[in-house]
């Protein structure tokens, strides 16, 4: 169901034009084939049906044109204050991070749960069927939040996290061709030996790198959002 919603949202204009074409064909067939071969009341009803179908087709065509001409609200660029998309040049990490905090709230009730459940496998509107736009960003966000505001209890959850969760985060990073960070993340967790100090230092040293990767990913894929 989420996959269908996502498809319609991204291809609404195309869907409207297709429906318009189908209704037009049906309307013409009703006029030419059926009404022409019928008599009396049936012929009148078929003519009226044809008119309704053609009118519906015209309505859908107009709606498709309006939909195409209206600027689509981009998830990362849309500014509710000006009710329009801002330029991609105005996009910066703080804004992306804020938006991703909202995305994470759709995936899990608390930030700590990312270490006890595989959020990439959860049914949600974020990961609609076949929609992987947010996958790398969620992985970066999880790691960034760990470096930025993790409490002692969250670090302990990280240390106890199942290997499948760590692998899922690493695999999400690899979708952005970031094998370097993915491998480092796997290695640090596997060799933590009950201490998160090495991971904490690594993430602190690479915080700017993570920020840059998130910004570049969003800008490179901005039309997908």
Q: Identify whether residues 105 and 185 lie together within a single domain.
A: yes
The pLDDT tens digits along the chain (225 residues) read 545 555 555 566 677 777 767 778 777 777 676 656 666 677 677 777 777 877 777 887 777 666 654 557 899 999 888 888 889 999 999 999 999 999 999 888 887 899 999 999 877 778 877 789 999 999 999 999 998 877 899 999 999 999 999 999 999 999 999 999 999 999 999 999 899 999 999 999 999 999 999 999 999 999 889
Q: Identify whether residues 172 and 118 lie together within a single domain.
A: yes
Please say whether the beta carbons of 139 and 172 come within 8 A: yes
pTM to 2 decimals?
0.69
List, as one string, the DSSP characters of 106-150.
HH-SSGGGGGTS-GGGS--STT-TT--TTHHHHHHHHHHHHHHH-
Please say whether the beta carbons of 176 and 221 come within 8 A: no
Residue 205: closest CA among 184, 177, 189, 176: 184
Q: Identify whether residues 108 and 130 lie together within a single domain.
A: yes
DSSP 121: G
Q: Identify whether residues 86 and 60 lie together within a single domain.
A: no
Q: Identify whether residues 110 and 199 lie together within a single domain.
A: yes
Among 34, 69, 104, where does a domain finish?
69
Please say whether the beta carbons of 113 and 161 come within 8 A: no
Among 15, 42, 69, where does a domain finish?
69
Q: Identify whether residues 59 and 95 lie together within a single domain.
A: no
- How far apart are the C-alpha atoms of 197 and 188, rounded to whole Å? 10
Q: How many domains does the chain have?
A: 2
Domain extent for 98: 78-224
């Amino acid at each position: 169901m989420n996959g269908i919603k996502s498809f319609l949202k991204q291809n609404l204009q195309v869907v409207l034009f297709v429906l318009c074409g189908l209704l037009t064909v049906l309307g013409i067939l009703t006029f030419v084939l059926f009404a022409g071969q019928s008599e009396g009341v049936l012929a009148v009803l078929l003519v009226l049906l044809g008119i309704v179908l053609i009118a519906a087709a015209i309505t859908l065509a107009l709606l498709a044109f309006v939909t195409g001409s209206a600027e689509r609200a981009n998830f990362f660029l849309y500014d509710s204050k000006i009710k329009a998309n801002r330029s991609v040049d105005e996009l910066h990490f703080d804004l992306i991070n804020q938006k991703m905090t909202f995305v994470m709230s759709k995936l899990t009730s608390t930030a700590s749960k990312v270490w006890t459940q595989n959020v990439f496998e959860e049914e949600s509107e974020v990961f609609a069927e076949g929609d992987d736009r947010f996958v790398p960003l969620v992985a970066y966000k999880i790691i960034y939040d760990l470096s930025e505001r993790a409490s002692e209890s969250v670090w302990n959850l990280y240390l106890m996290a199942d290997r499948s969760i760590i692998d899922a985060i690493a695999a999400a990073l690899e979708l952005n061709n970031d094998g370097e960070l993915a491998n480092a993340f796997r290695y640090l967790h596997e060799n933590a030996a009950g201490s998160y100090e090495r991971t904490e230092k690594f993430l602190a040293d690479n915080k700017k790198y993570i920020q840059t990767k998130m910004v570049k990913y969003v800008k490179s894929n901005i039309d997908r959002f």
